[in-house]
A and B are shown apart, each in its own frame.
Chain A
């Protein structure tokens, strides 16, 4: 019974942390009112760099939302490694749809480093015309006033980097519903919590606005070519150089519609490994923060009893309520942004189903199990290649020969077997 009380204590600690996360998300969105709306800002020209690989859900609309920005002068550089990439045709279509816009399409193979996104960015960066650059993933969809909102943050010359809050939308399958739930609770909550309470920049690469000279000063893109978490490290290096790293509370949408469960598990296993290598001992706070998983451990490890099951059910209920509330905060923000009207967005509306929140405890249990994987494995398979992740998520290639290589080959064989069975 004592063990139960230990886990119950940890669970309450986790729930308290989750409550603080909700509070920090709410506060972040409230701040927006006092911050936005002033038009007396010079809007310098911006180069939007779009590294692309494959078809993301909603790709056409995602890219289209960047072509429709209400902003005086900007260019978009779509960057691909390969003409056979299916995203090439989508980028071509958009270039044809907006002949009046400054859109360029670069297809150039670059093998500068081990991070494929950075390899994709290097040619786009070379082609960028303007001093302000925005690195933006192809799986995000934004409102028409997005660019103005984030450039506004740059009016302070001490600001080196602006990143954004991210919300998940569009779940049609179990994998994408889990992904969106995770983005709308754990990810947005953690980012706001770290920013507000610990003043830690937690840059997510889906949207990074910076000046070229600041990026050059920290070594340019080549400095992060072999780093898995290039976004986080860029933010960290900026801060180290005394530049402010700002979190804009203008929410951007990460559209996930048709993800399979396998893709969800793979992504969070990779992200877990990354956080373990960057955060070290701090990574354990994530396990404690997963209140649903902590409350279920006594049931899984010891005999289920009335008290343990009731406690886990209560915690799950609280988590469902919390996620529902966060979903409402995000949904209200989206509605108000559209209603505020100065830049009526024409992007497709995605409904947020409250019923999805009922799946939140299941998602948390899966995330809890995934949490252990980074402790056992330090490799990731990315686009067909296996890499070892080192400290600060520095990548290195797996050895081709020797004792270690057998270990990795064995893992590959086991994974292939499981994939076949699945």
Chain B
């Protein structure tokens, strides 16, 4: 089984550990596949503008540098740890109301996708790139300030675009995902070094990016585990 985490932030957005150290943190712990998913925040409201001002978001301007550095780290991680590092972003549509907010992981992204597009445009843009679409922390959480409920509240409309839902995020478990029988994965939402110890995904597939994407999409051979020291 491959030990995986597909929701990881670095100093490119609001993470506290830089990219290289983050990759080392997971490599040193024996992980098989990870995705770096820094925030791409919508800049069309005051919350988003603040995020852009404080450089807590990947932007169109630095996306190429971001993707290039992930590529470089992916090569290093493969040589050293035999660990796959996939490029990704977390499209973050933040509003004052959690009912309106949504966060979406786009994994194996190739080109920049702005967060101010509407949902259909974001999903179709990701599909065109062959990327995976994951709905992040879709239900009520222990930390209410991080709640993003829009996708869950509008699941009838958007579920067809979503490849998998986070059934667990860091310390929270969302049992509604299992009740609805949606495809699932579990991630750490890594921002700090201690977040390594959290929910993770185990995949029973070959260690290459296409097999991993197919395994998640078909949701066969997927398990979740609470990674503790």
A234-252 Cβ-contact flags toward B at 8 Å (1 or 0): 0000000000000000000
Tell me if B27 is interfacial: C-beta within 8 Å of chain A.
yes
Tell me if A89 is interfacial: C-beta within 8 Å of chain B.
yes
Tell me if B128 is interfacial: C-beta within 8 Å of chain A.
no
- Which of B21, B30, B82, B227 has the most chain A CB atoms closer than 10 A to its own CB? B30
Contacts of B193 in A (CB 8 A): 172-173, 257-258
Contacts of A59 in B (CB 8 A): 28-30
Tell me if B223 is interfacial: C-beta within 8 Å of chain A.
no
Contacts of A89 in B (CB 8 A): 3, 30
Tell me if B229 is interfacial: C-beta within 8 Å of chain A.
yes
CA A61 – CA B24 in complex, angstroms?
A: 10
Within 8 A of B (CB), among A23-62: 54-55, 57-61
Interface range, B side: 10 to 19
Contacts of A93 in B (CB 8 A): 30, 81-82
Tell me if B194 is interfacial: C-beta within 8 Å of chain A.
yes
CA A370 – CA B29 in complex, angstroms?
A: 31
| Partner among B21, B81, B82, B229 whose Cβ is within 8 Å of the Cβ of A55 | B229
Contacts of A60 in B (CB 8 A): 27-30, 81
CA A378 – CA B10 in complex, angstroms?
A: 43
CA A96 – CA B30 in complex, angstroms?
A: 12
| Partner among B28, B81, B228 whose Cβ is within 8 Å of the Cβ of A57 | B28
Contacts of A257 in B (CB 8 A): 193
Within 8 A of B (CB), among A46-87: 54-55, 57-61, 86-87
Query: Do A86 and B82 form a contact, CB below 8 Å, given A59-B28, A173-B193, A260-B194?
Result: no
Q: What's the nearest-Cβ distance from chain B to residue A193, in Å? A: 34
| Partner among B25, B27, B30, B81 whose Cβ is within 8 Å of the Cβ of A86 | B30
Whose C-beta in chain A lies nearest to the C-beta of B28?
A60
Tell me if A90 is interfacial: C-beta within 8 Å of chain B.
yes
Contacts of B28 in A (CB 8 A): 55, 57-61, 90
- A54 pairs with B229, CB closer than 8 A: yes
CA A95 – CA B199 in complex, angstroms?
A: 26
Query: Do A258 and B30 form a contact, CB below 8 Å, given A55-B229, A89-B3?
Result: no
Tell me if A409 is interfacial: C-beta within 8 Å of chain B.
no
Contacts of A57 in B (CB 8 A): 28
- B29 pairs with A90, CB closer than 8 A: yes
CA A93 – CA B30 in complex, angstroms?
A: 7
Q: What's the nearest-Cβ distance from chain A to residue B227, in Å? A: 7
Contacts of A199 in B (CB 8 A): none
Contacts of B29 in A (CB 8 A): 55, 59-60, 86, 90
Contacts of B82 in A (CB 8 A): 93, 96-97
CA A93 – CA B26 in complex, angstroms?
A: 13
| Partner among A86, A92, A260 whose Cβ is within 8 Å of the Cβ of B229 | A86
Q: What's the nearest-Cβ distance from chain B to residue A401, in Å? A: 31
Whose C-beta in chain B lies nearest to the C-beta of A63?
B28
Contacts of B25 in A (CB 8 A): 258
Q: What's the nearest-Cβ distance from chain A to residue B13, in Å? A: 19
- B227 pairs with A86, CB closer than 8 A: yes
A358-375 Cβ-contact flags toward B at 8 Å (1 or 0): 000000000000000000
Query: Do A258 and B194 form a contact, CB below 8 Å, given A58-B28, A59-B28, A93-B30?
Result: yes
Within 8 A of A (CB), among B185-223: 193-194, 196
CA A90 – CA B32 in complex, angstroms?
A: 10
Contacts of B196 in A (CB 8 A): 55
Q: What's the nearest-Cβ distance from chain B to residue A421, in Å? A: 18
Whose C-beta in chain B lies nearest to the C-beta of A348?
B24
CA A89 – CA B27 in complex, angstroms?
A: 11
CA A59 – CA B27 in complex, angstroms?
A: 9
CA A93 – CA B78 in complex, angstroms?
A: 12
Whose C-beta in chain B lies nearest to the C-beta of A59?
B28
B94-113 Cβ-contact flags toward A at 8 Å (1 or 0): 00000000000000000000
CA A399 – CA B70 in complex, angstroms?
A: 55
Q: What's the nearest-Cβ distance from chain A to residue B141, in Å? A: 20
CA A282 – CA B30 in complex, angstroms?
A: 43
CA A185 – CA B75 in complex, angstroms?
A: 39
B32-64 Cβ-contact flags toward A at 8 Å (1 or 0): 000000000000000000000000000000000
CA A57 – CA B229 in complex, angstroms?
A: 11
Query: Do A90 and B30 form a contact, CB below 8 Å, given A54-B229, A60-B81?
Result: yes
Contacts of A58 in B (CB 8 A): 28
CA A92 – CA B25 in complex, angstroms?
A: 17
CA A173 – CA B193 in complex, angstroms?
A: 10
CA A322 – CA B228 in complex, angstroms?
A: 39
Q: What's the nearest-Cβ distance from chain B to residue A81, in Å? A: 14
Q: What's the nearest-Cβ distance from chain B to residue A90, in Å? A: 4
Q: What's the nearest-Cβ distance from chain B to residue A186, in Å? A: 25
CA A93 – CA B81 in complex, angstroms?
A: 8
A92-117 Cβ-contact flags toward B at 8 Å (1 or 0): 11001100000000000000000000
CA A258 – CA B17 in complex, angstroms?
A: 11
CA A86 – CA B3 in complex, angstroms?
A: 10
Contacts of A97 in B (CB 8 A): 82
Within 8 A of B (CB), among A242-280: 257-258, 260
Taking Cβ atoms with an 8 Å cutoff, the residues of B that contact A are: 3, 21, 25, 27-30, 81-82, 193-194, 196, 227-229
Q: Known pairs A55-B28, A61-B28. 13 more at Cβ < 8 A?
A: A58-B28, A59-B28, A60-B30, A86-B29, A86-B30, A86-B229, A87-B30, A90-B29, A93-B82, A172-B21, A172-B193, A257-B193, A258-B193
Q: 20 interchain pairs (CB within 8 A)?
A: A55-B196, A55-B229, A58-B28, A59-B28, A59-B30, A60-B28, A60-B81, A61-B28, A86-B29, A86-B229, A89-B3, A89-B30, A92-B30, A93-B30, A93-B81, A93-B82, A96-B82, A172-B21, A172-B193, A257-B193
Nearest 10 CB-CB pairs, A to B?
A89-B30, A90-B30, A258-B193, A60-B28, A54-B229, A55-B229, A55-B29, A59-B28, A93-B30, A58-B28
